[in-house]
Structure 1
Amino acid sequence: MSVWDVLVGQEEATQVLRSAASHGGESHAWLITGPPGSGRSVAARCFAAALQCTGPEPGCGECEGCRTTMSGTNLDVTIVATDKVIIDTEQVKDIRTQAYASPIMGGYRVIIIEDADRINDQTGNRLLKAIEEPPEKTIWVLCAPTPQDMLVTIRSRCRVLNLVTPDAGAVAQLLQATEGVPYDKALVAAQISQSHIGLARAMVKDPHTRDSRVELMRLALNPSNTGEAVIAAGKLMAAAKDVAEKTSADLDQEEVSSLLSAYGLTEDEVLPRDVATQLRNLQADQKRRSRRALTDALDRVCLDLLSFFRDVMVRSVGADVPVVNADMEEELSGWLGRNAGIAADAVDLARRRLGSNAAQLLVMEALLVSIMRTPKG
């Protein structure tokens, strides 16, 4: 099985990366972009594996270079991922050190930054020279939703490769092969998740994930007056917080325990001043990460709402196109005759406000009031 087999619905990108791997990478820096769930980090890993490959074809999937890269144990491939709001200076120092180290196992040192859009001006300036003039055998692979999400100074040094939203059928086939679920069930999950591979996988593993999605959307769609919309926004925020906290709670506690155990301390003891300072800094980072997780959860709700309003518009014009939210037939019928385009614009505005660090509860209250007031037409 080739490493490229896991890069679903990206035939053109696969061809580009396979060719580049056959010719020494072709560029010292790549920027892989694409919508959520399209497989940006998967593409980066596949490319790194192909560069480390010692088999007959780059990315054979059988040699040690491919196997260790795909499992995350190859010493020449550094994968940088962060749950924080930004990639901080400490991470940048480590990344630069790795970039200037000579390859140990394979022919190339590959640096993958999965959340490159979280590089800010300060950390970007520290990385710029290393990306612009790397050692001969170092290749950078950055991942971001769009080229515009990247600092211009870094983007201009990279070769850009755009991924597309994979076909739902291709995602369903992947889930059928990897999760052992019937194709029909996998296809429904792929359609509802809008071909987001991670979300589709979560849905087939845990039916509650799908039920929770519908529940949150109904919460946003059902208010009939301003008071109900404000109350619903509060409930939606609480549900999103619950999702965010479940994601980060165990990691937060593990980080605190790891810090204290490094000094032979417990949480019940009086901490030395320097340790207490480190703990406060860690907790500040965790708070920022928690806010980012909450923003991501709210943005997911917004994307689901956009899919709903898209379905309404499809139904309104009688287009022969499958709807995403076939499990919300009653709500779709109830929205026929209303201007779903205006509602979609309100959702898009809410997403921009969430991305600009606006007060999250106020953003969701404004959104739900706007949806409630959507006129006919």
Structure 2
Amino acid sequence: MVDVFADLVGQDEAVATLRRAATAAAVLLRATAEAGPDSGAELAGMTHAWIFTGPPGSGRSVAARAFAAALQCALGTGCGDCAGCHTTLGGTHADVRFVVPEGLSISVSEIRTLVLRAASTPAGGRWQVVVIEDADRLTEAAGNALLKAIEEPPPRTVFLLCTPSTHPDDISVTIRSRCRVVPLRQPPAAAVATVLTTRDGVPADVATWAAAAAQGHVGRARRLARDPDARRRREAVLAVPRRLTGVGACFDAASALIEAAEGEAAASVAELNAGERTALETALGAGGTGRGASGAIRGAAGQLKELERRQKSRATRVQRDALDRALVDLAGFYRDVLTATLRAPVDPVHTDTAELARTAAGRWTAEAALRRLEAVLACRTAIEANVKPRIAVETMMLALWRG
């Protein structure tokens, strides 16, 4: 039997904390049931608001979802076997609500609606759980609305927020001060490889390569191990350093990187967009022949326009996520060059381009390699700050060429 925390790779300390809290929550529920809601029972390790932090791929949303399942578990342990665990992990539990931003931000209207629903009595008799993935995307107004709910929480509501860090740029200090923080770390490549081999049946050599190339990101390692297209995209990115032979080549490489991200994003959302539009048109009476059917469709223009706006926002986010994955791969290459230049006793991130990295290390100084690595990281930061991706990538390519 596999419990709900099984997918949290290399996070033993965090898992132990969450298990203790889930056990304390179950004890509290029993005490309240026996002595009544005014019994004065303490939470003892459990609290109503949590923040899961850590680098990309560390498993922030996995940890939040697993903890939500443990809170809804019939045994109070996160057994992975009961209906509470299954429905929570499957996203269908009536008392667990997930906020997964499809665009670049989470609006105040979304949070207000969510908070209102979360204040109701749990249908299953345990907890109302709100999981907000990418809570760093909350707008200021949305953050303020959430803060009010966290300051005065309903007695059976638990808020689980996922952010890259507790820096004020990611989550407001006032929200942070009212939450318990669960820090997650980047899982070791060996642990990721073991998961790919034992759970996904990936050959050991492929798993080892994919885990190193993904730099501890479990989901990306799984994609690299299974998806030939993902491997081809990575190979194209790692060919960039060889292509930077002049100013024109820099702009060509930038265009290729942007267009690849746009193509990947368009392919990933096309089917979802079409399904959403069809469902909305059907709900609004498309294809109907009765009286008023054509008028209903004409009057639905506003709703269709709003759907298109949301879909465009989602496509922008998916494109930026795809571009960021490419930049992480590129940063890994320049990191390999830097470590080779310094003769550091560490394994390369990209074993398949290790020879190219050693060749570059023979031509560049450590300072030049570091400047190139910093240029890639600066590009990521610029895009996060809403600089136009094409401008940020072109600037990066020129910096990589100049060294």
Could you tell me how far 1:159 is from its partner in structure 2?
1.2
* Stretch of structure 1 that moved more, 57-66 or 168-177: 57-66
CA RMSD of aligned residues (A): 1.9
Tell me which amino acid in the other structure corresponds to 2:325. Answer: R
* Equivalent position SS for 1:161: strand
Q: 1:126 to 1:274 in 2, by over 3 A?
A: farther
Q: 1:186 to 1:106 in 2, by over 3 A?
A: farther
Letter in 2 for 1:170: A
For residue 164 of structure 1, the aligned residue among 178, 185, 193 is 185
The 2-side partners of 1:224 and 1:44 are apart by 46
Deviates more, 1:16-25 or 1:363-372: 16-25
Q: Which moved more, 1:327-336 or 1:305-314?
A: 327-336
What secondary structure sits across from 2:52 in the alignment?
Answer: strand
TM-score, normalised relative to structure 1:
0.93
Runs of 4+ in structure 1 off by over 3 angstroms are 269-274
1:50 aligns to what?
70
Which one is further off, 327-336 or 9-18? Answer: 327-336
Q: Encode CA deviations 1:186-227: one digit per residue, 9 max, x unaligned.
A: 121111011111111111211231221121221355211111
Query: After the TM superposition, which residues 49-68 of structure 1 pair with which residues of structure 2 at under 5 Å, given as runs?
Result: 49-55=69-75, 58-68=77-87
**What residue is the counterpart of 1:277 in the other structure?**
302
> Who is 1:4 aligned against?
5
Identify if the C-alpha distance between structure 1 residues 26 and 221 changes in structure 2 by more than 3 Å, giving closer, same or farther.
farther
CA distance in 2, matches of 1:108, 1:174: 31
Query: Are 1:28 and 2:43 matched, yes or no?
Result: no
Distance 1:221 1:301 in 2: 16
| 1:308 has 2:333 as partner | yes
TM-score w.r.t. the length of structure 2 is 0.87
Which residue is equivalent to 1:180?
Answer: 201
Task: Check conservation: 1:65, 1:106, Cα contact below 8 A.
Answer: no
* Equivalence for 1:355: 384
Contact 2:108–2:139, Cα closer than 8 Å, also in 1: no
**CA separation in 2, counterparts of 1:122 and 1:220?**
43
The question of whether the paired residues in 2 share the 8 Å contact of 1:221 and 1:372 is answered with: no
Structure 1 distance, partners of 2:125, 2:341, is 56
Q: Is 1:72 aligned with 2:91? A: yes
Aligned partner of 2:126 in structure 1 is: 107
State how far apart, in whole Å, the 1-side matches of 2:163 and 2:77 are.
24
Name the SS for the 2:130 alignment partner. strand
CA–CA separation in structure 1 for the residues paired with 2:201 and 2:187 = 20
Would you say the 8 A contact 2:237–2:329 is kept in 1?
no
Which structure has the larger Rg?
A: 2
Tell me, yes or no, if the aligned pair for 2:87 and 2:93 is still in contact at 8 Å.
yes
In the alignment, the residues of structure 2 paired with residue 36 and residue 177 of structure 1 have an alpha-carbon distance, to the nearest angstrom, of 23
C-alpha deviations, 1:108-136, integer Å up to 9, x for none?
Answer: 11111112111111212222211221111
Is the 2:332–2:349 contact (alpha carbons within 8 Å) kept by the matching residues of 1? yes
SS at match of 1:12: helix
| Structure 1 portions without partners, runs of 5+ | none
Deviation at 1:106, TM superposition (A): 4.3
Structure 2: stretches of 5+ with no match in the other structure = 26-44, 288-293
Match of 2:171?
150
Shift of 1:98: 2.6
Counterpart-to-counterpart distance in 2, 1:217 and 1:87 = 34
- Report the Cα offset of residue 357 of structure 1: 1.2
